[in-house]
Amino acid sequence: MNRTVLASIFACASITSGTTFAANDIADTIYSGGPIHTINDTLPRVEAVAVKDGVIIAVGPVAEVSKYQDEDTRMFDLQGRTMLPGFFDSHGHVVMGGIQALSANLLPPPDGVNTDIPSLQNSLREWVSENQAAVDKVKLIIGFGYDDSQLAEKRHPTRYELDEVSKDIPVFIWHQSGHFGVANSKALAATGIGKGSMTPPGGVIRFDDSGEPTGVFEENALIAVLMPLLGRLGEEGLQTFARAGAELWAKFGYTTAQDGRSSQQVVEALRKAAAEGQIAIDIVSYPDVLLDRSYIAENMSMHYQDGVRVGGAKLTIDGSPQGFTALRDRPYYNPIGNYPPGYAGYASATMEQVQDAVNWAYDNSIQLLVHANGEGASDMLVSAIDDAQSKFGTPDTRPVLIHGQFMREDQVDNYQRLGVFPSVFPMHTFYWGDWHRDHTVGPVNAENISPTGWIRSRGMMFGTHHDAPVAFPDSMRVLAAIVTRRTRSGDILGPHQRVDVMTALKAMTIWPAWQHFEEQSKGSIEVGKIADFVILSDDPTAVDPELLADLTVRATIKKDELVYEAPASLTEVAVREWPFSTDPVVAHRFLHVIYNVMGNRL
């Protein structure tokens, strides 16, 4: 190998060590023509990337990377758009996200049109009229995403209001948090729930003054009614949800998704769909540790089979902060509903169950993801991990805190001490920030929900997530929320907890890759890593932070294969057809001037 070729390889290479490529390697694809952010601190921005067999072989200046080009190399022109490593889902529910993609959209603005109970009813009726064949087949009407905090009535709908949609077919609507749901009378009858039914531990069936169920279910009671209804869909239905969820994640630039509370049936449906080529991105599943321990231990693997693997176990300690079911260490500030004085939420698992699950995970070297929203839930988790580490030491299992909305600062210290990776949910600042300020924790403590500032001040890595289908898996809104912390009303909630754009991008790429033990192959654009990329409409490091949510994913690339491409935008069409300049950058800038003068924004 001559010195010139050797120098070019080192000039193009990222920090990945031990990876070499032959001098005569020819790239399948070379990406160039726009900003490329590698999320690699030693080589943060480059001009070009070369890929062969789905793996990155060169990263650097165009002049160096072009040495891997011949007449068969595909030249991918970014056309001024920005390329990043594919987004890595720090926490979500990709299969249930398929429900969001396929069911009636009951979300409030800006993701839906539902502002009161009549609009919910109308959305359900419209969905039925558009999906009559599916309704006739499975005998079930499903809606997802209603949020009582955003409804004019400030309450959950009742069974009787859903009966107005249909008295003959079971109707079930799922709250945006995923922790509540409402069934109509037909659905209640189908699941055997009526007057005198017993509420399961860790959940609530709401009853009216006459003792009849209102149709509203909380936490573990929700699971008891939801699972039998979804069981009507069968394996084929689960595969349909898996495929739709994966397509939705890819649309927003995710090349690796998470299924954060799987069942054995869900994992097997994922595997079957993936084996049949229906899923184009990678998916890591975490079955429920209280239900499927043997299955988890037998199936956990670091290796993907057809793009699916079991990464560990999921434990859920408490519920929804915006729904007042998260376990706090103090009373809720101003809860709306029929709550007793001093109400502080409740746990969905006992301390004995939590300790047993954490001990099992440590004893068996299983990675454990733990849903703990309230301060009381974090107290339970810290206590359990302290006890487990005293018994079993500290194996490298990278335990993960999921959400941690109402963490105290001393709990952040404890998570750092215990080696717990926080996967937090700053999208709450947008969707429910005003609600938290006015009702859940009050104006003082609301400043510190999703405390990324506290986390980073300690030098900790973290992941940021959407928890879809709780929130829409819109990666740009995830990015905007963590950087700006702006609420629906325009308030900024906790400016001291904001982070810069590059930190936020790390929390969407390399840090969640580390969380899932995949930092050596994903999360940054480096030689030897998988060619997973996302292409954005503009450079998130160069735009006004207030415009981050307006950026769009233009393409998603998995192992050098295009798995999503957005329809051409007005700007792109105009640039292609611009008659006065062959330089697209000139045309693009000129169009921006024109549209800014007109008071619009591209």
In one-letter notation, the amino acid at residue 507 is A
Residue 154 domain flag: yes
Residue 129 domain flag: yes
Same domain, 132 and 219: yes
Q: What is the pLDDT of residue 235?
A: 76
Residue among 522, 526, 560 at smallest CA distance from 57:
526
Q: What is the pLDDT of residue 23?
A: 54
Domain housing 29 = 3-86+535-566
Residue 287 domain flag: no
Same domain, 147 and 69: no
Same domain, 406 and 539: no
CATH for 106: 3.10.310.70
Of 234, 265, 286, at which residue does a domain stop?
234
Which residue positions in the chain have pLDDT lower than 70?
A: 1-24, 569-602
Same domain, 147 and 227: yes
Same domain, 428 and 486: yes
Same domain, 206 and 140: yes
CATH for 340: 3.20.20.140
Q: How many domains does the chain have?
A: 3
Residue 278 domain flag: no
Residue 449 domain flag: yes
573-577 long-range contacts, CB within 8 A, separation 24+ = 575/79
Q: Residue 29's beta-bridge partner residues?
A: 51, 74
Residue 284 domain flag: no
Q: What is the pLDDT of residue 180?
A: 84
Q: What is the pLDDT of residue 43?
A: 97
Q: Give CA–CA dist 12/527, Å, rounded.
A: 8
pTM metric for this prediction: 0.84
Strand 463-464 to strand 29-37: parallel, antiparallel, or no bridges (unpaired)? Answer: unpaired
Same domain, 72 and 169: no
Q: What is the pLDDT of residue 97?
A: 84
- Three-state DSSP at 402 gives strand
Same domain, 55 and 119: no
Q: What is the pLDDT of residue 514?
A: 98
Residue 12 domain flag: yes
Q: Give CA–CA dist 488/430, Å, rounded.
A: 5
Same domain, 494 and 346: yes
Contact 553, 82 (CB under 8 A): no
Same domain, 70 and 120: no
Of 195, 217, 234, at which residue does a domain stop?
234
Q: Give CA–CA dist 520/600, Å, rounded.
A: 43
Q: What is the pLDDT of residue 15?
A: 31
Same domain, 120 and 15: no
Q: Residue 258's beta-bridge partner residues?
A: 284
Residue 547 domain flag: yes
Same domain, 556 and 425: no
Distance (Å) of CA 451 to CA 202, 409, 541: 27, 8, 22
CATH for 45: 2.30.40.10
Q: Give CA–CA dist 174/166, Å, rounded.
A: 16
Of 217, 234, 251, at which residue does a domain stop?
234
